[in-house]
Amino acid sequence: MITLRNLEKFYEHGVSKTFVLRQINAEVGEGEFLSIMGPSGAGKSTLLHILGMHDSAWTGEFEFLGYPVHAMKPKERAKLHKQNIGFVFQSYHLLDDLTVYENLEIPLSYRDVKRSERDSIVCDALDRFRIVGKKDLYPSQLSGGQQQLVAVARAVIASPKLVLADEPTGNLHTAQGQEIMELFTQLNQEGTTIIQVTHSEVNASYGRRVIQLRDGWVVND
């Protein structure tokens, strides 16, 4: 599903460079459940955002579902992302001027789901995440934990081939966090590829593979 060859990211300061990622070579097969771990500043979130096609300022090769992402135009990358990837941001990234219901509807519109079908899919998600009573509220009216639940629901609602999650349980209490990880496990068993960034050994134990990053290098895979 994913192939990375000599992927690097750096910032230039005059004649010097500060590397964030160094010579990343990795393969991720369809149906894997992978955790990216490492200390703060190791490059974990940066790598996840490159995989999610939010960051285009990098060098090397990146193939996704056979498509050469490194050679694609921004509009092509955006289409590939919207049709195949669900992303759980560490800071939620919900749209403030849309209700919970409308936020959940967005990924379905990207995938050309008929309006008549959207309502039942959104209602199922609201029920599954126990946020039915919040559907007409705006993100600013929700607690951090509630926003995180909506963010996870939005990421998985359109049955993406790949779910990328940056500290997906960071703002949830223990029981909610466990539910989210069990949901990811269920999705993975149904064929969805999961890649999460986590500091939690418990969360990592739900997956079957761990990549350790340190100072931008893969030190263990």
Residue by residue, what is the 3-state secondary structure of 94-118? CCCCCCHHHHHHHHHHHCCCCHHHH
Q: What number of other Cβ atoms are within 10 A of residue 166's Cβ?
A: 21
Q: Does residue 162 lie in a domain region?
A: yes
Q: What is the CATH number of the domain that holds 120?
A: 3.40.50.300
pLDDT for 30: 97
Q: What number of other Cβ atoms are within 10 A of residue 179's Cβ?
A: 17
Span 91-120, pLDDT tens digits = 889 999 999 999 999 999 988 899 889 999
Decide if 94 contacts 141 (C-beta within 8 A).
Answer: no
Instruction: Find the domain containing 171 and state its range.
Output: 31-42+50-57+73-211
Q: Chain-centre distance of CA 180, in angstroms?
A: 13
Q: Does residue 202 lie in a domain region?
A: yes
Q: What parts of the chain have a pLDDT lower than 50?
A: none
Number of domains into which the chain is organized? 1
Span 14-31, pLDDT tens digits = 899 999 999 999 999 999
pLDDT for 184: 95
Q: Does residue 103 lie in a domain region?
A: yes
Q: Which amino acid is at 33?
A: F
Q: Model's pTM, two decimal places?
A: 0.94
Residues 105 and 122: their CA atoms lie apart, in Å, by 7
Residues 193 and 28: their CA atoms lie apart, in Å, by 9
Surface-to-core class of residue 70, CB atoms within 10 Å of its CB (0-12 exposed, 13-18 middle, 19+ buried): middle
Q: Chain-centre distance of CA 8, in angstroms?
A: 20
pLDDT for 92: 86
Q: Does residue 67 lie in a domain region?
A: no
Q: Does residue 216 lie in a domain region?
A: no
pLDDT for 115: 87
Decide if 183 contacts 149 (C-beta within 8 A).
Answer: no
pLDDT for 96: 95
pLDDT for 63: 98
pLDDT for 203: 96
Residues 159 and 157: their CA atoms lie apart, in Å, by 6
Q: Which amino acid is at 43?
A: G
Q: Does residue 94 lie in a domain region?
A: yes
Q: Does residue 21 lie in a domain region?
A: no
Q: Does residue 13 lie in a domain region?
A: no
